[in-house]
A and B are shown apart, each in its own frame.
Chain A
Amino acid sequence: NAGVTQTPKFQVLKTGQSMTLQCAQDMNHEYMSWYRQDPGMGLRLIHYSVGAGITDQGEVPNGYNVSRSTTEDFPLRLLSAAPSQTSVYFCASSYAAPGGSYEQYFGPGTRLTVT
């Protein structure tokens, strides 16, 4: 199993450009999430999905769109990039483990710079 994969690993955008960060998992997990990591802020949830066709907003959703057409893929779209979106983006997938907890697996991250 490849686990959770993210592409690209690095990206530089100009303000106003749009792009899609790709995320895929091969573990048949129901749940997938996108986080951004900024210095001193920890990881903050952008959007999440509890299954194909179902998405919801997290803590910091503005400026981002998501869709979940398949169990495997959960792309994150930046509609009009802004310097404030310079960050490291992590995708995660999770499943409901026995006992009620969720085991969460993270991708390697995408480092995005918006100039």
Chain B
Amino acid sequence: AQKVTQAQTEISVVEKEDVTLDCVYETRDTTYYLFWYKQPPSGELVFLIRRNSFDEQNEISGRYSWNFQKSTSSFNFTITASQVVDSAVYFCALSVSTGNQFYFGTGTSLTVIP
């Protein structure tokens, strides 16, 4: 069975601070894919990144970076120099190669205080 855990329910930071959102996943499949989505207050789901299980390279995109570690089954997301516009709920998700079903974590609500 697949499972995604986002232990941090809510995080508040002051603008310009760095913040890391944790994601731990469980799967027995050797081929799987990990995702992060952002849900701003307007409610839509915005795709941020996809990672496959064979690529453990960290990725950086502007102020966003992702750290994928198979040894700890984690796929953490860091926002550097946070901004008020980063305030949103962030979801980590997992899909496996045997199907197109996505398994979502419960989300982390991030509030960036000006």
Interface string of A1-40 (1 = CB under 8 A from B): 0000000000000000000000000000001010100001
List the interface of chain A (C-beta within 8 A of B): 31, 33, 35, 40-45, 48, 50, 58, 88, 90, 92, 94, 96, 99-106, 108-109, 111
Other A-B pairs beyond A33-B100, A102-B95, 14, CB < 8 Å: A31-B100, A33-B101, A33-B102, A40-B106, A41-B106, A42-B6, A42-B106, A48-B101, A58-B101, A100-B97, A101-B33, A101-B95, A108-B43, A109-B43
Residue of B nearest to A106 (CB): B45
Which chain A residues lie closer than 8 Å to B95 at the CB level? 101-102
Q: Which of B9, B52, B101 contacts A101 (CB 8 A)?
A: B52
Residue of A nearest to B50 (CB): A101
Interface hits, B27-59 → A, CB 8 Å: 31, 33, 35, 43-45, 47, 50, 52
B91 lies within 8 A of chain A by Cβ: yes
Which chain B residues lie closer than 8 Å to A40 at the CB level? 9, 106
